[in-house]
Amino acid sequence: MTTTDTTTDLEDFRLRVRDFLARNAKRVDAAGDEESQDGETVDYLTGARVWQNSLFDAGFSGLSWPKEYGGQSLTMHHQRVFNEEANGYVMPSSPFMVTLGMCAPTLLQYGTEEQRRTHVPKMLRGDEIWCQLFSEPGAGSDVAGLTTKAVRDGDEWVINGQKVWTSGAHFADYGLIVTRTNPEVPKHKGITMFIVDMKSPGVTVRPLRQMSGGSGFNEVFFDDVRVPAANLVGEIDNGWMAAIGTLMNERVSIGAGGGGLGRGTGTAQFDRLAELATKVGRIDDGAARTELASIYVEERLLAILSERMRAGLKAGKAPGPEGSIAKLSGSELGRRVADMAMSLLAESGQAWTDGEDDSLHWAQTLLGSPGGAIAGGTPEIMRNILGERSLGLPKEPQVDRDIPFKDTRTN
Amino acid sequence: MSDMSEEREALRGAVADYLDANFPIDTVHRIANGKESVAADEWSKVAQGLGLAGLVIPEEFGGQGAGFGELGVVLQEFGRTLAPLPMLSSAALGTLPFLLSTDDAVRRPYLEALAAGSAPAALALTEESDSWPQAPQATTAVQSGDHWHVSGAKHYVLDNGGATFYVVSAATAHGIGLFVVDGADVVRTELHAIDLTRPQANIAFDQAPAVALVVHVGDELTRLQDLAAILVSSEQLGGADAVMRMFVEYAKIRVQFGRIIGSFQAIKHMCANTLVEVEKARGAAEDAADRAAEGEPDLALAASLAKVATSEAYTNATLTNIRVHGGIGYTWEHPAHLYFRRSRSTSALFGTPAEHREALLVGLGY
Ligand SMILES: Cc1cc2nc3c(=O)[nH]c(=O)nc-3n(C[C@H](O)[C@H](O)[C@H](O)COP(=O)(O)OP(=O)(O)OC[C@H]3O[C@@H](n4cnc5c(N)ncnc54)[C@H](O)[C@@H]3O)c2cc1C
């Protein structure tokens, strides 16, 4: 196949995708609910890996990513065609969101050639799952306030400290970790990023339970964990750049479904809500119609924005602060969808008997929605980024930007 | 401060002391997780000690003879602490129908048992697909000789895990009545509830022997529901106020970017917006409770106003609580979700905000 996206080429491609999906993927309705990201059971994980393997082996993983790193070097038009065809199919891609949406792009941009060749193809194939080891108990919105230490010892670095809220650490093979390597300089200037093998001695993963009941995130402790110097990503003490890269990718990823995951382009949430409104006899109710229509509009706007954002990504650009628009819009949409479902279900949204699957589904949606708003940066942080970086407004007063990290105020 | 409000504050203080000592939020959380349970005699102890079980029951039946204003204050405290006792379910909602009844011979034994805390009741009005206000559609009561039997089902009953008796609304040949059914004569199905701190059940009964409490309830059924909505609003107000305090406290201690997060205008404004909503809701809920206390004949507008205001203030405040806490607020261990869940549950019960908005317009003649 050539990389020129002539009409025939795209049509051929569409037929190949259609055929592949028909033979390998499950329809959304036949499979019931697409599992939430909460917890991720062993069965789900195994199934997801098998799916990602088959996607890769058939040449549909990393469509717009470079061939030398396992991708297909195709265009965003191909990605779009894939997404269109994937509508209505279950895409068990959530275990790979951090891997492909955040970690792989960071390696492509800041990693060594060796790191890219070793890991990216395995990431695309679902053989390696990665996690993002950024947040700490004292450093969430302010990741640059992190205190996990890395100290050089010959050809190795020794890491000590604690990370928290690490999604998927309980099943991840590797993690991207940011560490403090120089506390004598201002906080953004003494941070270094490494690849850490999650099976290394001294790594302890403890699951944390979310308010929705599942255990999708963890606390991760590092006790004298040794990492080869070759695992350095970017430059020593200049890891903040790479970290910003990961975070910007994360916002696109959470808000817009990036990373070549084949996210659908449809209006899945609207569809399901409209179905619910019909079922409960409220589809002719004026107030319900207005809200439903607004949700359709928001979901489509986000889909279009996402499409354009992903197209921008392909052009080799690192995502800009605009990822925050998607992140912000996505969490607001999530809240509205959950609220509307609760309003439609009335009493039956807050209690149910066995078998009342709508109630269960929407209760889970409701209980997951606050997490979606916080993960990857809170709405307040997104607004600060848009105001300061996209619009150039004066920065919030920063009390600790220019003083040595060791002199800053922490919790 | 007037005598009345001084008395209310004294009552609030006594109830708060008891609840804080016995049901701190960690204990409530452990109970919700099934790791601890409430002592079987706790409610009757509370009945004897603080007199809460019979707070609004007239003294001649062993109660305290207090009014809805006092009840509202106590419910705020229960809303604040989420204490898993049948204060709302029995001492408030379950007691209401017995206050409506004027037949002392029938109601006396129930009221005395309620006041003693020995036999909690539950109010069961809701059926499968109700709007607001609710009228029985499928539950019927049939009289044969001196005896009544009821058949049907009620949903989303707050019964604290199983009531000694249930008051159900049922259609008779002549209208709608309120009937008392023994807990032993219903089939109870515990529901999976979003609210982990308060059990809910569906109950079904077939030809269950029943005592006619009010044979023709007429317009009083609406009043009963308005009172129920007002009482739920009081409880919601207490919860909204509690979560606001929780996140304001946190906003004063959490440091990010070298600053206390409450010094960021975004956070400060979230806190202030909540204060605005909570104070307006407080006005509406306390006004409605006062109107009920004064025996105002038509409570519909006040009830709907209160229920809309407290439901929305509470659901918004619980989400803000999680958001101000960040990741920690999204965990199971943190109490934020217990309130988030309670707010969602009470918002849907006894009329959703959407249903009460509609009721308001209808009540205003539109
Ligand atoms: C479901 C979930 C999954 C996650 N997965 C991961 C993961 O895989 N890896 C990882 O590293 N992290 C992960 N996180 C962590 C997430 O990135 C942080 O929770 C988030 O950045 C907020 O940090 P925090 O929890 O410390 O809250 P804080 O930063 O303490 O924020 C508390 C409040 O203060 C506000 N605030 C802070 N600074 C400002 C400011 N400058 N201006 C205005 N308001 C401000 C916040 O908006 C928030 O309302 C996850 C979180 C969740 C909920």
A307 vs A76: CA distance, rounded Å:
9
Which structure tokens are listed for A35?
Answer: 């599992």
Residue B200, Cβ density class (10 Å: 0-12 exposed, 13-18 middle, ≥19 buried): buried
B366 vs B356: CA distance, rounded Å:
14
Q: Is B324 in the pocket of ligand 1 (CB under 6 A)?
A: yes
Q: Is A384 in the pocket of ligand 1 (CB under 6 A)?
A: yes
Task: Give chain B's radius of gyration (CA, Å).
Answer: 20
Q: Is A378 in the pocket of ligand 1 (CB under 6 A)?
A: yes
The mean per-residue pLDDT over the stretch A41-58 comes to 91
In the predicted model, is pLDDT for residue A39 greater than 60? no
| pLDDT band, very low/low/confident/very high, at A31 (cuts 50, 70, 90) | very low
Torsion angle (degrees, nearest 10) of CA A171, A173, A176, A178: 70
In the predicted model, is pLDDT for residue A255 greater than 80? no
- From chain A, the residues in CB contact with B331 under 8 A are 208-211
β-bridge partners, A90: none
What is the pLDDT of chain A when averaged over all its residues? 89
Q: Is A407 in the pocket of ligand 1 (CB under 6 A)?
A: no
- Of A42-46, B266-270, B288-292, least confident by mean pLDDT is A42-46
Buried b / exposed e over B30-68, threshold 16 CB at 10 Å, is ebbeeeeebeeebbbebbeebbbbbbbbeeebbbbebbb
Catalytic residue chosen out of the listed positions A250, A291, A307, A322: A250
Determine contact, residues A260/A62, Cβ cutoff 8 Å. Answer: yes
CA distance readout (Å), A304 to A90, A256, A266, A314, A383: 21, 9, 10, 16, 21
Which structure tokens are listed for A392?
Answer: 């150039």
Which structure tokens are listed for A192?
Answer: 């270094």
Give the Å distance between the CA of B326 and the centre of ligand 1. Answer: 5
| pLDDT band, very low/low/confident/very high, at B23 (cuts 50, 70, 90) | very high
B78 vs B69: CA distance, rounded Å:
15
Q: Which helix (H) or strand (E) holds A225?
A: strand A217-228
Q: Is B268 in the pocket of ligand 1 (CB under 6 A)?
A: no
In the predicted model, is pLDDT for residue A36 greater than 70? no
In the predicted model, is pLDDT for residue B190 greater than 50? yes
> Per the omega criterion (within 30 degrees of 0), is the bond before A121 cis?
no
A63 vs A81: CA distance, rounded Å:
11
| pLDDT band, very low/low/confident/very high, at A4 (cuts 50, 70, 90) | low
Determine contact, residues A82/A17, Cβ cutoff 8 Å. Answer: yes
In the predicted model, is pLDDT for residue A130 greater than 60? yes
Which residue of chain B has the CA closest to A347? B348
Fold of B3-116: Butyryl-Coa Dehydrogenase, subunit A; domain 1 (1.10.540)
What is the pLDDT of chain B when averaged over all its residues? 96
- Taking an 8 Å cut-off on Cβ atoms, the answer to whether B334 and A211 are in contact is yes
Which structure tokens are listed for A287?
Answer: 């107030």
The whole-number pLDDT of residue A38 equals 53
- From chain A, the residues in CB contact with B255 under 8 A are 138, 409-411
User: Atom 12 (ligand 1): residue with closest C-alpha?
Assistant: A135
Instruction: Please give the single-letter amino acid code of residue A45.
Output: L
In the predicted model, is pLDDT for residue A329 greater than 80? yes
Determine contact, residues A333/A300, Cβ cutoff 8 Å. Answer: no
Determine contact, residues B184/B205, Cβ cutoff 8 Å. Answer: no
Domain A243-389 belongs to what architecture? Up-down Bundle (1.20)
Tens of pLDDT, residues B56-73: 999 999 999 999 999 999
3-state SS, residue B194: coil
The mean per-residue pLDDT over the stretch A231-241 comes to 96
In the predicted model, is pLDDT for residue A401 greater than 90? no
Q: CA of B184, closest CA in chain A: separation in Å?
A: 21
In the predicted model, is pLDDT for residue A86 greater than 90? no
In the predicted model, is pLDDT for residue A285 greater than 50? yes
Residues with Cβ within 8 Å of B198's Cβ and at least 6 positions away in sequence, in order, are B82, B84, B88, B89, B158, B160, B342, B345
Q: Is B326 in the pocket of ligand 1 (CB under 6 A)?
A: yes
CATH code linked to domain B220-363: 1.20.140.10
In the predicted model, is pLDDT for residue B112 greater than 70? yes
Determine contact, residues A79/A13, Cβ cutoff 8 Å. Answer: no
CATH of A130-239, one of 3.40.50.720, 3.30.70.2190, 2.40.110.10, 2.60.40.10: 2.40.110.10
Q: Percentage of residues in chain A with pLDDT exceeding 70?
A: 92
Tens of pLDDT, residues A337-396: 999 999 999 999 999 999 998 999 999 999 999 999 999 999 999 999 999 999 999 998
Determine contact, residues B78/B18, Cβ cutoff 8 Å. Answer: no
Q: CA of A126, closest CA in chain B: separation in Å?
A: 28
Instruction: Please give the single-letter amino acid code of residue A61.
Output: S
Determine contact, residues A252/A246, Cβ cutoff 8 Å. Answer: no
Residues with Cβ within 8 Å of A260's Cβ and at least 6 positions away in sequence, in order, are A61, A62, A63, A64, A65, A71, A79, A100, A124
Q: Which helix (H) or strand (E) holds B310?
A: helix B300-325
Give the Å distance between the CA of A301 and the centre of ligand 1. Answer: 26
Q: How many helices (H) and strands (E) does chain A have?
A: 13, 9
Which residue of chain A has the CA closest to B254? A411
The whole-number pLDDT of residue A1 equals 46
Which structure tokens are listed for B215?
Answer: 């044979």
Cα torsion A301, A339, B131, B127: sign: positive
Torsion angle (degrees, nearest 10) of CA B173, B177, B180, B185: 40
B11 vs B146: CA distance, rounded Å:
43
Q: CA of B248, closest CA in chain A: separation in Å?
A: 16
Ligand 1 mutation target, pool B263, B267, B321, B324, most atoms within 8 A of CB = B267
Which structure tokens are listed for A378?
Answer: 């809170």
- Taking an 8 Å cut-off on Cβ atoms, the answer to whether B352 and A366 are in contact is no
- Taking an 8 Å cut-off on Cβ atoms, the answer to whether A210 and B330 are in contact is yes
DSSP letter at A362? H
Tens of pLDDT, residues B243-253: 999 999 999 99
For chain B, give every residue range classified as CATH 1.20.140.10.
Answer: 220-363
CA nearest A17: which of A69, A54, A49, A44?
A: A54
In this structure, are strands B165-172 and B121-124 parallel, antiparallel, or unpaired? parallel
ipTM above 0.85, yes or no: yes
A381 vs A363: CA distance, rounded Å:
27
**Crossing angle of helices B25-32/B336-348, nearest 10°?**
70
User: Atom 3 (ligand 1): residue with closest C-alpha?
Assistant: A375
Give the Å distance between the CA of A140 and the centre of ligand 1. Answer: 4
Which class is A7-125 in CATH?
mainly alpha
Chain B, 148-167: which have a CB under 8 Å from a chain A CB? 155-156
Fold of B121-216: Butyryl-CoA Dehydrogenase, subunit A; domain 2 (2.40.110)
H-state helical runs in A7-41: 7-24, 28-31
End-to-end CA distance of chain B: 40
User: Any idea which residue has 């997780």 for tokens?
Assistant: B33
In the predicted model, is pLDDT for residue A261 greater than 70? no
Which structure tokens are listed for A114?
Answer: 């060796």
The whole-number pLDDT of residue B144 equals 92
Ligand 1 mutation target, pool A378, A382, A385, A401, most atoms within 8 A of CB = A378
In terms of phi and psi (left: phi > 0; alpha: psi -120 to 50; beta: otherwise), the region of A386 is: alpha
Instruction: Please give the single-letter amino acid code of residue B82.
Output: L
Q: CA of A342, closest CA in chain B: separation in Å?
A: 8
CA nearest A70: which of A125, A110, A5?
A: A125
CA distance readout (Å), A122 to A57, A83, A104, A194: 11, 22, 10, 18
The mean per-residue pLDDT over the stretch B194-221 comes to 96
A250 is catalytic: yes
In the predicted model, is pLDDT for residue B6 greater than 50? yes
Which structure tokens are listed for B195?
Answer: 């609210």
| pLDDT band, very low/low/confident/very high, at B129 (cuts 50, 70, 90) | low
Domain definitions of chain A by residue range: 7-125, 130-239, 243-389
3-state SS, residue A162: strand
Tens of pLDDT, residues A161-216: 999 999 999 999 999 999 999 999 999 999 999 999 999 999 999 999 999 999 99
| pLDDT band, very low/low/confident/very high, at A316 (cuts 50, 70, 90) | low
DSSP string, B236-254: HHHHHHHHHHHHHHHHHH-
A103 vs B132: CA distance, rounded Å:
51
In the predicted model, is pLDDT for residue A312 greater than 80? no
A169 vs A95: CA distance, rounded Å:
11
Which structure tokens are listed for B358?
Answer: 């509609």
For chain B, give every residue range classified as CATH 2.40.110.10.
Answer: 121-216
The whole-number pLDDT of residue A224 equals 98
Q: What angle do CA A232, A234, A236 make, to 5 degrees?
A: 70
For chain B, give every residue range classified as CATH 1.10.540.10.
Answer: 3-116
Q: How many helices (H) and strands (E) does chain B have?
A: 11, 10
Instruction: Please give the single-letter amino acid code of residue A42.
Output: V
| pLDDT band, very low/low/confident/very high, at B209 (cuts 50, 70, 90) | very high
B348 vs B353: CA distance, rounded Å:
8
